[in-house]
Structure formats: structure tokens, C-alpha cells
Amino acid sequence: MYPIVANRGASFKRFLDTLLIPIQAAQGLHVDPALLPPPDGHAWSPEHKAAWRGQGMDVFRKCLTRDGKDVRTSILNDLSAFYKMSPEECTERCLHWEELSVQEWKAGDRSSPDGLRDFYNSIQSWSFDLMWYAYLQATGHAFPAAVMAAGFAAENNDGRQHLDFGSGIGVTSQLFARCGYITTLADVSRPLLDFARWRLDRHGDRAEFIDLNMGALPFSAYDCITALDTLVHVPDFDVTARDLHRALKPSGLLFTNFDVRDQSAETSAWHLYGSAIDLDCRLQACGFVKVKRLGISPICYRRVEPKTAFHRLRRTRNTVAAPVRNALMLARRVRWPTPTRAVKLLYRLATGRKLITNKSFTNA
């Protein structure tokens, strides 16, 4: 009996693996813009195109460059000078950052809050990842989330106090500072804060810094907060959401996204959550309302008072709608059947192996 149950479970898993497009489990190697043609922007949204052509992108590129060098040379020079490595070694670390992150994760027990804190306080690979990702944005090979956020904030909020929560290497903070904001960087990773402080001083940018291991966020201090590619890494999402709510001034703006991954993969170990819809509902429950999604990312939220009757009604609506949103999300992952897919599905269910066709060899 037990082998039959096990076989049925394995068959059902094969069925789901075949039927559903998998959730991203790894980012893999960064691409190298030097080896690629210029990006094709025909599929970009009008907002994306406007950001790419606008003044904000010019400012963003200038945040990365130094001494008249181009973006690529400048970021490699920064990494080389700080980490005492050759530009060639820095390039390899940028491209292969994820492998290095896995090694850093496996260097200790990360199952406890102390172990997770130790990971963030020993991480070095993310400096290379984030610098290269900024380079990809500057060349049009990645979505310019920070540029989109800065442009929307300038048009929809008169205040000029900015917090970069989960600031990483500080490029978003640089951008906001050069757009006229008084900016503060906050991070739990001391290695990233050290590199960001060194970078901003090297590039002539001024900012305040908060080490979240030692200090808390001030209350009602900021007109806008960016938390880009950050909230999936915090161990207590609801506490963090409430902290961000308290740190914002009334009607302040929060720009964030939820980069959820397949949590069964070792390359996603530091992505602590698996459902963007769940995180969106929990964030709104803490006193935020969704204003607008800026292209594919990020989402702009506005701070509201969470205890008002209107917001409680909104929370109830979100709770009721969440199962429907999850069902729609699942439907978008379905590989809807065609005759070829049906044959492959039946073959895999029966054998546990993928069906190799002539077309598969042709496309290889």
C-alpha cells in the first residue's frame, strides 16, 4: 500500500511540474551587455520608454560613473578599489554572484534569526550583484525601478525626505539625492553599508546612514521610502511593514516589490516568502493602499491610518479577493493544452521522463 501511495504522490508532482510554468528558482548568470546587441524597446510600456529617455536615467548613469569613464569601467573600478581585486576578477564575481551567494549561505546555519543575521553581516557577493544590476539598468538590459520610483515621487509628493530601506550599495540613494532629496540609507548588512558609505563619499554624495542592527527607524520622518528587492529578505514581514508605516509621514509614499522565488531551491534560500499576493495583502493590512504599479515593478503604496472604518472595509475586501487573485495567478502559470503538450503530459505521467521530439533537437 505504501509504495502505491508514494508512486501516486510522485505522479501527481510530475503532473504539476508538467502542467505549470515553474516559479523562478534562480537568477543564474548575469548577462554581459558588452556581448549583447542594444536592447529592443518595442515591447516596453510607454512609462518604461519615457524613463529610459528621460532626465532621471541620465542622472542614474552619472551616479555610476566617475572621472569621465563609462559605466562599466566605473563600476568595476569601484569594486576593484574597495575589494582589492583586479577588474577582471570583479567581472567574474559580478557575472557569477549567485554561486558565491550560495557558498556564503552554506557557510553557516541560517535556520535561526542569529544565523540569518550572520549571513547578512558576512555577505560580499551582493555588492557585485547590485553593482552589475545597476549597470544592466543603465544599458537598458534591466528594468529601471529606481528611476521610475524617483520620477513618480517627484510628481506626486512635495516632500523631500527620502529613506532607502535595504539600501544595498546605495545607488537608489544617490539618485534621490541628486534629484533634490535629503536621503538616508538603512540596511541590516554592515558589509553593504560600509561599501555604500565608501562609494557615496568617493562619488561626492551626501547621505545619512542607519545600521538596523543598532538603530531603529525614526517616527514620521520621511515623505517617501524605497524598499526595492528588499522585503522578501526580512524575517518578520509584518513587523517591518509596521516600522515602515510609522517612519512615513501622513500620506507618504512607499515604493516596493515582492521578488518571490521557489523556496525549495538553494539559490532562493534567502528569499523568505513564496506568495506576492499574500505579502501585498499583509502590507496593505498594516496601513497602506496601492496607488499604482510602475511598469513591471515596483508598486507605489500610500500611507493611510489603518484603524479607520474605510481601511477596515478595504482589508475585508482584500481578504475576500485574495483566493480569487491566487487562482488567477495560478491560471497564468498553466501551460494550456495543445495536442503536442497533451502527448508530452501523458508520457511524463506514465514514465516520469520528458518526451524528446525531433523539434526538441531542432531547437537545441
pLDDT of 122-149, one tens digit each?
999 999 999 999 999 999 999 999 999 9
pLDDT of residue 5: 39
Residues 340 and 320 in one domain: no
d(CA 291, CA 285): 15
pLDDT of residue 315: 65
Domain for residue 234, yes or no?
A: yes
Sheet harboring 222-227: ordered strands across? 208-211, 182-187, 161-165, 222-227, 248-256, 299-303, 288-293
The number of distinct structural domains making up the chain is: 2
Domain for residue 26, yes or no?
A: no
Residues 340 and 308 in one domain: no
Residues 221 and 299 in one domain: yes
Cβ pair 302, 288 in contact under 8 A: yes
In the chain, which residues have pLDDT < 70? 1-28, 309-312, 314-364
Residues 236 and 109 in one domain: yes
Residues 339 and 229 in one domain: no
* Residue-number span of the structural domain to which 356 is assigned: 334-364
Cα 57 versus chain centre, distance: 19
Residue range 58-99, pLDDT digits in tens: 999 999 999 999 999 999 999 999 999 999 999 999 999 999
pLDDT of residue 320: 63
Question: Which positions ≥6 away from 58 have C-beta within 8 Å?
Answer: none
Domain for residue 32, yes or no?
A: no
CATH number, domain containing residue 108: 3.40.50.150
Domain for residue 90, yes or no?
A: yes
Residues 284 and 348 in one domain: no
For the four alpha carbons of 111, 236, 200 and 136, in that order, the dihedral sign comes to: positive
Residues 156 and 178 in one domain: yes
Residues 215 and 361 in one domain: no
What is the pairing mode between strands 161-165 and 182-187? parallel
Domain for residue 11, yes or no?
A: no
42: region left, alpha or beta (phi > 0 left; psi from -120 to 50 alpha): alpha
Domain for residue 285, yes or no?
A: yes
Report in angstroms the alpha-carbon separations of 280 from 182, 315, 326, 341.
Answer: 28, 11, 12, 34
Buried b (16+ CB within 10 A) or exposed e, 192-203: bbebbeebbeeb
Here the cell at position 77 is: 573600478
pLDDT of residue 262: 76
Residues 75 and 215 in one domain: yes
Domain for residue 3, yes or no?
A: no
Instruction: Report which of 203, 228, 244 is spatially closest to residue 150, judged by C-alpha positions.
Output: 228
Domain for residue 185, yes or no?
A: yes
What is the pairing mode between strands 299-303 and 288-293? antiparallel
Residues 245 and 342 in one domain: no
Residues 339 and 255 in one domain: no
Residues 271 and 340 in one domain: no
